Amino acid sequence: MDFIHSFLNLILPPIAIISIIFFIPPFLFYKLFNYFFIKAFIPTQNLAGKVVLITGASSGIGENLAYEYARRGANLALAARRENRLKRVADEAIRLGSPDAIVIRADVKEVEDCKALVEETVNHFGQLDYLVNNAGVVQLSLFEDSTDQFSTTRSIMDINFWGSVYCTQFAIPHLRKSKGKIVVNSSSATWFSPPRMSIYNASKAAQLCFFETLKAEFGSDIGVTIVTPGLIESEMTGDQFWSKTRIKGVPVESAERCAKAIVESACRGDMYLTEPSWCRAGFWYKFFFPQLVQKCFHLALIHRPWTLNKRE
């Protein structure tokens, strides 16, 4: 057995490199052709009359997703903890073109809440076509500075990861029936891993791996679009965020622009979306120059004392 592993260690890396070099040109040509062909000749999915359930819909990306789906004629089920804000979002969504929008007060870290919000959506509309796992929370601090006996860090994992797992579990039977789709609002932090966001990064990485696994399990039965946004305008990136982090010069995309890109991507049936797309450069820097990226992070951010907890 040791001989087999030694042989594979010797022979497989060069074979992999050669095969990658061989397949990259035709693959890039296919991607380019497919992109322009879909853009030019294949219309995006008609959302009129579809039923879309959005978690974390009271502000930020979730709120603007509600407005974008409303403009396209979708029925909406809007879930979050802040019921008063949800009602305002629902009223605006109806004004923008949604035939019907219901409000469901729910905390996605609670299993029963996730079950209830899916059941209430299906009972009201009779179907479910889109599940948008958007609810999320961020904590910004050095891991070693945590003094809350892990209650906050557990909550981050419960909301960001388990909340999307719970909602998906209860939505699967209905999405299979409608040949529906799941949209997952993950984060570019899954592969860039900035400091002072250790538990957030881990929760989003777990979320991404979970839904990548579901892609293989679902096949063509249920579509899955995984979104990895960069810095997007929201409560989590408000004035307090900038004053605490002292980060300067990083462009922030509007939540409205991000939401429009997400809906269009999901309607095309994309597997992945990084928004804004220039953030993908960070992935390649991390892949090819991991030591350099880690050193830059340490020098630029690690010596700045701040702590921030914010939830949408």
Cα-based angle 229, 234, 240 (whole degrees, multiple of 5): 115
First-to-last alpha carbon distance for the chain, in angstroms, is: 52
User: What does the block give as tokens for 153?
Assistant: 């860090």
CA-based nearest residue to 229, from 269, 257, 264? 257
Neighbours of 259 (CB within 10 A): 24
Q: How far is CA 97 from the centre of its chain?
A: 25
CA-based nearest residue to 65, from 73, 54, 50? 54
For 63, 223, 242, 286, the CA distances from 72, given in Å and listed in that order, are: 15, 19, 34, 37
CA-based nearest residue to 200, from 274, 107, 138, 134? 138
Say how far apart CA 36 and CA 44 lie, in whole Å.
13
30 is known as an active-site residue: no
**Active-site residue among 67, 69, 166, 200?**
200
Q: How far is CA 13 from the centre of its chain?
A: 33
Catalytic residues: 200
